[in-house]
Copies of this chain bind each other. A is one copy, B any other.
Amino acid sequence: MFDSSVPVFIHFLNSLSAILRKAEVHCEARKIDPNVMLNMRLFPDMFALTRQVQIAADGAKGAGARLAGIPVPSFPDEEKSFAELQARIGKTIDFLGTLTKAQFEGAEGRAITFKSGGQERNYTGAAYLETWAKPNFFFHLTTAYAILRHNGVELGKPDFLSGGKAV
C-alpha cells in the first residue's frame, strides 16, 4: 500500500511541478500575464488551473495521511502565483516524505471515512486508494495539463510521465 501510493504521488507531483515551470517560462517568453494562465479553465463551470493544482496536491496529501492513519494536515488555498503553487507542491511532497512504511501496515483494510461533496464516503483503504484517491489525483493532474496544452503551452506526454526529470 505504501509503495503504490506515497512514491507514486511524489513522482507525479514532481511531474506537475515541472509542467508548471514550463508554463511559467511560456508566459514569460510570450509576455502573458501569469494570472491569466492561472485562471484559465476548459469550460465556465470547471475549475481553473490554480484550483486543479490545489486539488491534485490535496488529494495526494489526504490519501497519504488517511492511509497512514494520521490526521490530514490542512493547507490554506491561497496561492496566487506559479511560485506559490510550486511551494504548495513542495510542502505536499515534504509531508508525504515524512510518512513511513510502518504507518501503512494494514492500510489495505483500514476503514477510511471522509466527506466530499457534502456526502460521507466510506471505503476500505485499498478501494479508497484505487477507485478514489489515485483516479482523482490523476484526473486533476491531467486536467491541469489539458488546460495548459489547450492554451498553447508546449508539453508532451513525457512531461506528464517524467516525475520531474528533464524531457
Complex interface: stretch among A17-25, A60-68, A99-107, A139-147: A139-147
Cα-based distance from A163 to B130 in the complex (angstroms): 12
A interface size (C-beta, 8 A): 29
Choice from B117, B152, B160 contacting A139 with Cβ under 8 Å: B160
25 A-B pairs whose Cβ atoms sit less than 8 Å apart in the complex: A3-B126, A4-B4, A4-B126, A4-B130, A8-B131, A11-B131, A12-B135, A42-B42, A42-B146, A42-B150, A43-B150, A46-B149, A131-B163, A132-B161, A134-B134, A135-B138, A135-B161, A136-B157, A136-B161, A138-B139, A138-B142, A139-B142, A142-B143, A142-B146, A150-B150
